[in-house]
Amino acid sequence: GAGVSQSPSNKVTEKGKDVELRCDPISGHTALYWYRQSLGQGLEFLIYFQGNSAPDKSGLPSDRFSAERTGGSVSTLTIQRTQQEDSAVYLCASSLDGAKQYFGPGTRLTVT
Amino acid sequence: GESVGLHLPTLSVQEGDNSIINCAYSNSASDYFIWYKQESGKGPQFIIDIRSNMDKRQGQRVTVLLNKTVKHLSLQIAATQPGDSAVYFCANFTGNQFYFGTGTSLTVIP
């Protein structure tokens, strides 16, 4: 079956612009995660959605970052007024049981 | 806070040899562990998992060992192949959150 998909695969934006990153999880997966991965670094947790519960936003680095999940499926991560330190690969993962996660290919964001 | 570390940032092995990648964790309450493989330009791919009530689990060419006494996790890859070259992450699940290590880069020498 189809895995997790993310779009765009690459995004180059100017400093100060807003960007939206999209994640399509595996159908039926109730849990969805966003992570950030900087060059040569591990995964940094950003936000977690589980069903209809309020999301766990504890990993969002600043109020410029926000995420939504519509209809319990597609999620959008929005970064406002992008800064150069926001440059990274943004990974989305979904899970059926909240434990075993399946990752998408990521969106590589470059802020110039 | 939680920390997940890897003993070596890089590992080079000859094709056909066995590889061992190690990981340490700090929270004794961790109850679920996963190893991921990440190839260049791709997202992490699930390899194998283990729950804290087990100390060993085997998959195809891979074995995960868990030592809860010393809070240590290892991934063994048998007969390493060039296609195994990638970054390997360990992750542990504590409470309702995953914590990921920074990864070990495995290079297989033909």
pLDDT tens digit sequence for B57-94: 999 999 999 999 999 999 999 999 999 999 998 998 88
With a cut of 70, say whether residue A13 has pLDDT above it. yes
* B4 within 8 A of B22, measured Cβ to Cβ: no
Report residue A79's pLDDT band, with 50, 70 and 90 as the boundaries. very high
Residue B41 banded pLDDT, cuts 50, 70, 90: confident
Residues found in chain A: 112
Residue of chain A minimizing CA distance to B43: A105
Rounded to an integer, what distance in angstroms lies between the CA atom of residue B72 and that of residue B55?
10
Cβ pair B96:A100 closer than 8 A: no
Q: Across all residues in chain B, what is the average pLDDT?
A: 89
Which residue among B32, B36, B43 places its CB closest to the CB of A106?
B43
CB contacts of B46 in chain A (<8 Å) are 100-102
CA angle at residue A21 from A47 to A6, to 5 degrees? Answer: 95
Give the pLDDT mean for B41-66: 94
Query: Which distant-in-sequence residues (6+ apart) come within 8 Å of B81 by Cβ?
Result: B15, B108
Q: A43 and B34: CB-CB below 8 Å?
A: no
Q: ∠ CA B82-A4-B58 to the nearest 5 degrees?
A: 45
Nearest to A6 by CA among A31, A30, A29, A34: A34
The model's pLDDT over A41-72, given as tens digits with 9 standing for 90+, comes to 778 889 999 988 889 998 999 999 999 998 87
Across chain A, mean pLDDT equals 92
* Averaged pLDDT for residues B22-27: 90
Mean predicted confidence (pLDDT) in A18-39: 94
pLDDT band at B1 (very low <50, low <70, confident <90, very high): very low
Distance from CA of A15 to the nearest CA of B (A): 24
Neighbours of A1 (CB within 10 A): 5
Give how far the C-alpha of residue B78 lies from the chain's centroid of Cα atoms, to the nearest Å: 14
Run of H or E residues at B92: strand B86-94
Q: A19: which residues sit within 8 A by CB, 6+ positions away? A: A11, A13, A78, A79, A82, A109
Cβ(A81)–Cβ(A16) below 8 Å: yes
Q: How confident is the model at residue B2 (pLDDT cuts 50, 70, 90)?
A: very low
**CB atoms < 10 A from the CB of B11, how many?**
18
pLDDT of residue B3: 45
